[in-house]
Structure 1
Amino acid sequence: MMLHVYEDQLSGFELKGNLKEDVYRFLVHGKCPKTAEHCMKVGEEAGRLARIVGTDPAAAEAAGYLHDVSAVYPNDRRIPIAIQLGIDVLPEEEVFPLIVHQKISKAMAEHIFGIKDVSILNAVGCHTTLKAHSSLLDKVLFVADKIEWDQQGTPPYITELLAQLDISLDHAAFAYIDYLCQRKETLKVVHPWLRDAHEELKRQLF
């Protein structure tokens, strides 16, 4: 068990046994109230999408609640924490540590919140970039997170994403990734998982 790594974040915090409430309290305890609200919204949206596409809504909700629990660690602590947890850190993640948060959230979901369901853990672990050979649950969480984005204002890609969602979940996932890839000169890095997902979906859909 890796709980010693999270000692500072767990000080004064106690799990009560209700995942949704525990995640919300954990993030507020870690001074991330906006992320707490975001995670609740993503959990609800993931559950809604899961019912539409025919995958487990409870698993989708759990993945949504958990996906950003690593927000309690600021960017400058993410690479050291990832290394402590034995996470494989890619060169792109070293350049832009924000992206490694998906892998840290996966570890925290297992270690702190006791998640054993590999499908939930895997979805949390690729919710920012997606990846090739992703599961239905991976895509549900990925798209839910983009619909309920955590920035100010309206997402610039949302009209196209929602239009494509009327066709399929895969089309919606592709719409967002393609939006990024068309603007890759403006990105700090292009994560290899994102690039792989883009190529795979493009082959499958077009």
Structure 2
Amino acid sequence: MNQIIHSISLTGDWELDIQHMLEQYNKPHTYEHSVRVANEAKRIAKRFGLDEEEAAIAGYLHDISAIIPNDERIQVAEKMQIEVLQEERIFPMIIHQKISRRIAEDIFKVNNEGILDAISCHTTLRKNATPIDMVLFVADKIEWDQNGTPPYIVEIKEALEQSLEHACFAYISYLWERRENLKVIHPWLEDAYFDLKVKLEVE
């Protein structure tokens, strides 16, 4: 791992530590996005009586793999002995969630499995998602990393008034309705869609 990534001196201040690493790799946009996601994750966690610090840490570190160029991610994942799915080979952006988990674990010394699991599925979600999985997933979608307002923002915020599951399903349904236009449908996303559909008793 250390041959791939320059190590940093950890201060214990999550925001400062990710700032140091992302600035080394000239990723200020990712730093700003990650701070917004961490803050939103804390707000959502508080609202649902969940651990705010865990949610914030997951938010700070979820996109830390932005330091690895998109065209190198599959090779890096293989070096890290991360399982690479066919859909991830076709669309390497998606594997950044798994690489972020490994960086969080190996470089930032996170050993909380709940946080690591949430990081590893923050783009696609997964079936039987935990509350922290859902908190990070929703926070990342509300504070998206594109310009302008997310086209699904009203639906996801309204759904959040009901539950985390409804908010996750609002976003995944948005994608599912447009699946013909997606480069790939990640199997974890598909699993999450049908899992939530059953749990929420959606027709």
Q: Please say whether Structure 1 and Structure 2 have the same fold, judged by a TM-score greater than 0.5.
A: yes
Q: Which residue number corresponds to residue 92 of structure 2?
A: 97
1:60-90 CA distances to partner (integer Å, 9 max, x unpaired)? 0000000000001111010001000010000
5+ residue gaps, structure 1: none
Aligned-residue offset at 1:191: 0.2
Give the Cα separation in 2 of the matches to 1:138 and 1:54.
Answer: 14
**1:14-53 alignment, distance < 5 Å:** 14-53=9-48
**1:43-192 alignment, distance < 5 Å:** 43-192=38-187
Query: Which deviates more from structure 2 when the two are superposed, residues 24-33 or residues 191-200?
Result: 24-33
1:159-205 CA distances to partner (integer Å, 9 max, x unpaired)? 11111111111100000000000000110000000000000000010
Q: Which residue number corresponds to residue 5 of structure 1?
A: 4
Aligned-residue offset at 1:91: 0.1
Q: TM-score, normalised by structure 1?
A: 0.95
**1:190-201 alignment, distance < 5 Å:** 190-201=185-196
Report the aligned-residue RMSD. 0.9
* Partner AA of 2:2 in structure 1: L
% identity of equivalent residues: 50
SS in 2 for 1:3: coil
Q: TM-score, normalised by structure 2?
A: 0.97
Q: Which runs of 4+ in 1 moved over 3 A?
A: none
* Partner AA of 2:53 in structure 1: A
Asked if structure 2 preserves the Cα contact closer than 8 Å seen for 1:24 and 1:40, the reply is: no
